[in-house]
């Protein structure tokens, strides 16, 4: 199989598993225990905080380990919204956020919060001026993702941060889950107050993520219990997971320049091959995008059927976010970008990763256009003869 769904998840890297193994076997102590085994577990967890913070240009105390990107986003949004409720109830975001953000915003509406979505252009980019205009004296939080998980578009976060912080007391949350392996998350440069990442997007283990919380930023914990993670996330820590995240992120950051260069070349090659098929169009920003995501529309097709056809040919890909697989609705991201439902149904996402080889791209460049063209031909034939009687059949 050729795996071209790295935006959904990535394989666990051997070096990461090796770093985790001691804490899955002999060093299984609870980091809150005072005895020697607990202290060794605590030392490993403290080191994980330090390694992640170092790559973020942050302090170890600002890093909160979570069960993944979804929890990190929930903790950031709900935690900041409830902490700021006395000052205001207005939350500003965009219509192309991951459901971990969008559905959390919808949930908060049930408790009296006002959610305002600022639209995006055809490439999926939000206008900082429009975002600025949506902020009022009742606004407490703005949430904008860094790199879109479906179309790959990168937002102008640094400019957005300047606009947001021109309004006293307003916080900026950034979902950087998809972007973390490919974009430098130096938090001083980004200008955000809350940044979420997830280990399985950069060859770390599933079930662990991290939320960076700028020192001095007040959020309310969303689960109660012990005093772990400086009172911000109760529950016995996933020590092995945190160590795996730190090891994987360290490797991804160190290899980022070379990985990005190679993935961009591979993606451009695959894009050129796929766009030779009539009726196809690349989606997302042509330049300001994540290096490994090729998103496209194949008109007069069903993206799910194309993905299944590619799977039968040995290529794993998706129609968009893995979190919406099985949904009958078209992509909310493409809809927000202005694509009508009949076109959005032909969405396809081919996402590359560090382990993608040039030989795999060679094969994909041959197989993907052939499968897409075949699906379009089949759809055209069905439209011309919906009852399957044959064009020249007698009546």
- For 260-277, b/e burial (b = at least 16 CB within 10 A) is bebbbebbebbbebbeeb
CA distance 89 to 138: 6
Q: Are 331 and 344 in contact (CB under 8 A)?
A: yes
Q: In what order do the strands lie in the sheet with 280-282?
A: 280-282, 293-298, 347-351
How far is it, in rounded angstroms, from Cα 395 to Cα 347? Answer: 38
Residue 378: count of CB within 10 angstroms of its CB: 14
Strand extents, DSSP E, 246-331: 280-282, 293-298, 315-316
Q: Which residues pair with 293 in a beta bridge?
A: 351
Give catalytic status of residue 253 as yes or no.
Answer: no
d(CA 188, CA 161): 11
- Find the catalytic residue in 253, 316, 317, 323: 323
Catalytic residues: 323
């Amino acid at each position: 199989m050729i795996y071209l769904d790295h935006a959904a998840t990535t394989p666990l890297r051997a070096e990461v598993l090796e770093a985790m193994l001691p804490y899955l076997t002999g060093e299984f102590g609870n980091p809150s225990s005072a005895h020697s085994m607990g202290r060794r577990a605590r030392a490993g967890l403290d080191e994980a905080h330090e390694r992640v913070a170092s790559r973020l240009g942050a302090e170890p105390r600002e890093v909160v380990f979570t069960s993944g990107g979804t929890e990190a986003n929930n903790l950031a949004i709900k935690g900041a919204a409830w902490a700021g409720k006395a000052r205001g109830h207005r939350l500003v975001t965009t219509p192309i956020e991951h459901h971990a953000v969008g559905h959390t915003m919808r949930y908060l509406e049930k408790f009296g919060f006002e959610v305002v979505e600022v639209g995006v252009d055809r490439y999926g980019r939000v206008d900082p001026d429009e975002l600025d205009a949506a902020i009022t004296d009742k606004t407490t939080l703005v949430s904008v993702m860094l790199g879109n998980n479906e179309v790959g578009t990168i937002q102008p976060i640094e400019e957005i941060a300047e606009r947001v912080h021109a309004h006293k007391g307003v916080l900026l949350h950034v979902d950087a889950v998809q972007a973390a392996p490919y974009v430098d998350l130096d938090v001083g440069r980004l200008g955000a107050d809350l940044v979420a990442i997830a280990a399985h997007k950069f060859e770390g283990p599933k079930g662990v993520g991290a939320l960076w919380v700028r020192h001095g930023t007040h959020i309310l914990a969303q689960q109660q219990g012990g005093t772990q993670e400086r009172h911000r996330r109760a529950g016995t820590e996933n020590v092995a997971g945190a160590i795996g995240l730190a090891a994987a992120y360290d490797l991804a950051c160190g290899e980022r320049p070379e990985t990005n260069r190679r993935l961009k070349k591979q993606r451009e090659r695959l894009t050129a091959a796929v766009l030779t098929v009539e009726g196809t169009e690349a989606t997302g920003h042509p330049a300001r995008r994540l290096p490994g995501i090729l998103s496209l529309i194949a008109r007069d097709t069903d993206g799910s059927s194309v993905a299944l056809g590619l799977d039968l040919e040995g290529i794993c890909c998706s129609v968009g976010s893995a979190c919406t697989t099985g949904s009958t609705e078209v992509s909310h991201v493409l809809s927000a970008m202005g694509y009508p439902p009949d076109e959005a149904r032909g969405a396809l996402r081919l996402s590359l990763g560090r382990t993608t080889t040039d030989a795999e791209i060679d094969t994909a460049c041959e197989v993907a256009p052939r499968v897409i063209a075949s699906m379009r031909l089949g759809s055209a034939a069905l439209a011309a003869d919906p009852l399957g009687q044959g064009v020249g059949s007698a009546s």
